[in-house]
Amino acid sequence: MSLLKLIRKLKNCLASLALISFATTATAMPGSYTQIEEGQPAPFSGYCFDITASAHIIADKELRDNWCKDKTNKSLAIQKAEFDLEVGKLLAEFDYEKSVNKKTIESLREENLRLETTALAAPNNYWYIFVGSGMLMGVVTTILVVQITK
pLDDT digit string (tens) for the chain, length 150 residues: 577 777 777 777 666 766 666 554 444 555 565 666 666 666 556 667 777 777 787 888 888 888 889 999 999 999 999 999 999 999 999 999 999 999 999 999 999 999 999 888 877 778 888 899 999 999 999 999 999 988
Return the DSSP state at 39.
Answer: T
Angle CA 42–43–44, to nearest 5: 95
**Bridge partners of residue 46, in order along the sequence:** 36
Under 8 Å between Cβ of 14 and 8: no
Give the three-state DSSP class for 30.
coil
Q: Are 36 and 46 in contact (CB under 8 A)?
A: yes
- Measured in degrees and rounded to the nearest 5, phi and psi for residue 48 equal -120, 125
φ, ψ of residue 38 to 5 degrees: the values are -65, 140
Phi, psi of 2 (to 5 degrees): -70, -30
**Alpha-carbon distances, residue 95 vs 99, 100, 103, 105, 148 (angstroms):** 6, 9, 12, 15, 61
User: Alpha-carbon distance 144 to 134, whole Å?
Assistant: 15
| Global confidence as pTM | 0.41
Residue 32 three-state SS: coil
